[in-house]
Amino acid sequence: MFEIKAKDNRGRVGVLKTNSGTIKTPNLMPVIHPRKQAIDVKKYGADIVITNAYLIYKDEELKQEAIDKGLHELINFDGPIMTDSGSFQLSVYGDVDITNKEVIEFQELIKTDIGTSLDIPTAPFVDREKAEEDLEITLERAKEAIDFRNKENMEMKLNSVVQGSTFMDLRRFCARELTKLDADLYPIGAVVPLMESYHYKELVDVVMNSVANLPDSKPRHLMGAGHPMVFALAVAMGCDLFDSAAYILYAEDDRLLSTRGTYKLENLQEMPCSCEVCSNYTPDDLRAMPKEERRDLIASHNLHVSFAELRLIRQAIYEGSLMELVEERCRAHPKLLDAYRQLGKYMEDMEKYDPRSKKSAFFYTGPESLSRSEVKRHMQKLREMPKKRDLVILPSSRKPYSKYISGKLGEFYGYGAQREIDLENTDFMVLDIPFGLIPLDIDEVYPLSQNDAPRIKDVDSLEFIEDFISEFVEYYEQTLIHSKIIKELDIGLYTPHIQSDEIRYKKDDLKKVKAIADYQFGNGAGKALFTGNINIEKSKKTGKIRHIYDGKVIIANMRASDSYLVLSKEGAKRLHSKMPYPQNRVVVNEDSVPFALEGKSVFSKFIVSADENIRANDEVLIVSEEDELLAYGKALLSAHEMNDFNTGQAIKTRKGMKK
């Protein structure tokens, strides 16, 4: 039903299959009132819509027409349709004249594609007793709906809505309990009041505590989220679908949506974008129109803006620049910036889903970038890597640093033991914003070279670097820091060092490929891969390492775009024989063994387990349950996703090990 096609952080471009067609996610479902259809939303890009089954059920004329003709003909939309169960009316009026079982049966009867159980939307900031009582009913009804659907063998897909108000433990509990029921989609409910009151920080808590406890293999729907200024943030948190009547409700009130906020027509001197409406009409033109005509034009603008933003988000996911877009969007409003800063507290979770290599460079756009998963991941790698006796820290320069550093390196200040430096027992690193320190042997690996930051450093980044260096130098007996860095940072405890003329960095290609292997596959991988009569071949055009051989046997290639290693058959054998189980491994079941040996791609349903450190785009070993090496290839999903999905391709196999 749902497959992931591209990833960036928790954001994913997916394909959602329904009885009425396939849609690409993330996507917006415009709300269609069954009796008040102002405009044809499909004309403006809608692939899926949502309407209210309860309103149809309560209107005898509409009800009979829906039963006779079907929902698609009733609202004149031939694509996928989701229906609400009446929960919105329940939240507004406190009661509805329909049972959970009745509304499920009715949604199936009128041939809705995705139906919803009658959950209890619990408003934010209610007392705990109320939230717990409502949640108990929501869970009972969700179970009843799934049981009824399964018993009656319904074709309709089912939503199970995550509730729990603003009690994070209740959100987590609800998500875990709903996961056990195995619904088809998981909306996150009762968040509209948070968005209407600009409580975006609390929205982040609600979404992240819900998503982290929902299955990766099912779409998540942020209910009532229809303003384009929040789409990028919500997608980065793992939301796949949005719905809202905002496009028409705001138009009724002469308000135009944008990614920077909302414009009132009465205040506009210029139209805010280049859509068809904004290109052909002026604010005065719209103000002079009859109310209904003006409303329809503004509604079409609102839809144009919303769908354009979703296209931009999907493109950002494809190229790996989603978080730059999020940072840009969240600077449109102080409360959104609060929300993005709050998201930084969840980066440990985000990192599990973030590919190590992307098509787009990493851009530092402000202090919030310091919390991104790429930064956290690199710093953890630095802490875990083997340390030599001494450390030399150099100032940043032109990238890649190792290419342009040579000769005498200048004046240094010392910390720790005062002794002559042993160049063979020294780690050379460059000070970097935002990655802290970059070892010269791995400086071409993504994103350590493929990043950019302003030359004028902000106070937050300087303090961040100072704190990290103060921590990191404790791993070494002696640290030498270049005088340029000392002038810029306020670290203290340093004294002039007289041996600065002796400090030279010597390039060593074998040392470099071993260090990259350790960084990529884990400590010890470099030694495992590159032993024997190692011959390194470089590109004549760029001078970059391209192929690594043992004699005439290829061990690995180095990818030019990100300097990661791509294993050969021999390389896969060496890595498998020396690195302990389950490192770098994806385990497939017995049925998949002959296909993997032949070099066929691996699908999620055949995966038994995967090393939890695997991320999308990683080079992986494909093994049997007895740890027999079957093949090797590139992961398309993270380990967590591989372990949860039962559909779709998980690994693009490079070659099988069949002789």
CA distance linking residue 342 with residue 6, whole number of Å = 25
Q: Are 56 and 68 in contact (CB under 8 A)?
A: no
* Cα–Cα distance, 171 to 176 (Å, whole number): 9
Q: Report DSSP letters for 298-310, one per residue.
A: HHHHHHHHHHHHH
Q: How many CB atoms lie within 10 A of CB 648?
A: 18
84 is catalytic: yes
Helical packing angle, 322-330 and 291-319, nearest 10°: 140
What does R_g of the chain's alpha carbons equal in angstroms?
A: 28
Show the 3-state SS of 352-404. Answer: CCCCCCCCCCEECCCHHHHHCHHHHHHHHHHHHCCCCCEEEEECCCCCCHHHH
Tokens of 123: 């408003």
Torsion sign over Cα 282, 288, 293, 296: positive
Angle at 259 between CA 258 and CA 260, to 5 degrees: 85
**Residue of 558, 565, 533, 526 whose CA lies nearest to 543:** 558
Three-state SS sequence of 233-276: HHHHCCCCEEEECHHHHHHHCCEEEECCEEEEHHHCCCCCCCCH
Strands 157-159 and 114-116: parallel
* 653 in Cβ contact with 599 (< 8 Å): yes
- Active-site residue (options: 84, 240, 243, 441): 84
Q: Whose structure tokens read 């993997």? A: 596
Q: Which helix H or strand E contains 523, and what residues bound it? A: none
Cite the active site residues: 84
